[in-house]
Amino acid sequence: MKELVESIRNKVFEALPEPARASRPELAEYARMLREYPQRGGKMLRGALVLLTARAYGSDEAALAVAAAIELFQNWVLIHDDIEDDSEERRGGPALQRLWPLPLALNAGDGLHALMWRVLVEAGARRKIMQEFVRLIETTAAGQHLDLSWVQQGRFDLNADDYLEMVRKKAAYYTAVAPLRLGALAAGQLPHLSFTSAGLDLGAAFQIIDDALNLEGDPAEYGKEIAGDLWEGKRTLILIDYLSNAPAQERERAEELLRLPRAQKEAAEVAWLHERILASGAVGRARRTAEQLAAPALEELQEVFATLPNPEAARQAIDLLSGLVERRA
């Protein structure tokens, strides 16, 4: 697995521009901006899942470029997400728009987006692979619109189904469905239909656990700001559950706080809400929901992978998929 991640990382850095080769100091700075998030590491789970799935199907020749491209997707989308969410931290460092002015960071995200397509085009990726990338960007952007519009419009009339629809689009598709489908396509095979249904459930479970870690993760391991979701006013399943069970007065106080932009929130108030949510049992209930989504999805995927020609790669892919919902950081 370490070797696998290293090979994807090399492919990503092969594509990134070298500051030393820039024609002007400003463009060297631009190259450094494009490299900033990739350089911080990242677990490359999605790229590894592409490669292992392709191997399980019997051929990973075309998969390395696809794996690098989905990691480049992750990097440019995180740059734009961090601006959209007014986030503080990413992978243990300041968000890009806190190191450089926001307009430069936004533009660097677009440059990295183009680089993602460059990797695919230069590798001669087949049309079905290109179509899958279009779909994954469109799906993620639609989910991001839901997430952002709820925050921007101060909406709290949301239930668990609203959250699940948002998170399937915003996170589950590109985290689980797309890598599985791309792995099959890179091996020249048609993706199994279960990749979509089970991938959406498993990916939603992944995001629920991410939301839980945001509230109770180990600050030393978790690469983002603890309770950042509260600062950003994110409508998580945990928050929706907590609010629907909170006494009227407490709910009112929480919603008032969540409606404020980050700069107007007081740390003591955020700490109060954080403590109330942890005391409410909502995190544990969300983890159980994640478990209920993940268990049958993993079983279904295990059955599909059991039919594939390379059992060793299939086992590693299933390990990785299980790891998505068992992680602590």
Residues 77-96 that bind its own copies (CB under 8 A): 77, 80, 83-86
How far apart CA 28 and CA 26 sit, in angstroms, is 5
Torsion of CA 220, 294, 177, 45, to 10 degrees: 30
Write down the least CB distance from residue 211 to its own copies, Å. Answer: 19
**Contacts with its own copies: how many residues (CB under 8 A)?**
44
Alpha-carbon distance 53 to 56, whole Å? 5
What is the pairing mode between strands 89-90 and 93-94? antiparallel
Can residue 104 be called a binding residue for its own copies (CB under 8 A)? yes
Question: Residue 97 CB, nearest distance to its own copies (Å)?
Answer: 11
Measured from the CB atom, is 3 or 26 closer to its own copies? 26
Among candidate residues 127, 81, 124, 89, the one with its CA nearest the CA of residue 105? 81
Contact (CB, 8 A) for 310 and 42:
no
Should residue 27 be labelled a site residue for its own copies when binding is judged by CB under 8 A? yes
Which of 265, 320, 323 has its CA nearest to residue 55? 320
Nearest approach in angstroms of CB 251 to its own copies is: 23
Does 241 participate in binding its own copies (rule CB under 8 A)? no
- Backbone φ, ψ for residue 294 (5° rounding): -75, -40
Shortest Å distance, C-beta 215 to its own copies: 22
Q: Is 44 in the site for its own copies (CB under 8 A)?
A: no
When the beta carbons of 25 and 219 are compared against its own copies, the nearer one is: 25
Three-state secondary structure along 1-66?
CHHHHHHHHHHHHHHCCCHHHCCCHHHHHHHHHHHHHHHCCCCCHHHHHHHHHHHHCCCCCCHHHH
Q: Is 41 in the site for its own copies (CB under 8 A)?
A: no
Interface residues with its own copies (CB under 8 A)?
24, 26-27, 29-30, 77, 80, 83-86, 101, 103-104, 106-108, 110-111, 113-115, 117-118, 121-122, 124, 127, 130-131, 133-134, 137-138, 141-142, 144-146, 148-150, 152, 165
